[in-house]
Chains A and B, each alone.
Chain A
């Protein structure tokens, strides 16, 4: 079945350093969504990418969707302690959502 893998599983960075998480699907995705889950919280939607090669920015966050629509990345510039949490990508089929395994980010002040 369809699988979505994320790397790395964990990342510790010093505050101010950059951070990137990568999402890879075994099949072509119609779209990809990114969610953030704060410690002890629930996933919260960040963004959706639909077009091949699409790049979107939200302040210090940059999201990319691969040309083949099988991979995606989230890059955070100059991390802050508020960026702490687990970041998930999710691909959707007609009815099902497949979430990646998540990347847990810790930011050391």
Chain B
């Protein structure tokens, strides 16, 4: 079954404790992306990757890191989480950037205390 898998689904952590949210897709998609969703602000793109070893900043990259060592995986890293990073996070993938359908993971709800 074609899917985008995120883990964990829920995470509560404390300020400053490094964490990683994993994302994996099994569709051989070139393009992957991370979004955060906050009430009234919609979905905002954090980082995206056009292909292996090629990543770039989205609209809200501050406080986040990503890597794309393999085509299927695109982890989101919070080196020193802060309370303003409490949000709902979605990973998405598409065949390529631009005019392609994005497939979203189920989401990760993160609370930073």
Contacts and interface: CB of A to CB of B under 8 A. Distances in A.
Contacts of B45: 96-99
Contact of B106 (A6, A42, A45, A102): A42
Among A6, A35, A42, A90, chain B packs the most CB atoms within 10 A around the CB of A42
A99 B35 contact: yes
Interface of B: 31, 33, 35, 40-45, 48, 50, 56, 58-59, 90, 92, 97-99, 101-107
Contacts of A50: 99
Nearest to A95: B97
A56 B41 CA distance: 27
Interface size class of A (residues with CB under 8 A): 20 to 34
Contacts of A33: 101-102
B59 A95 contact: no
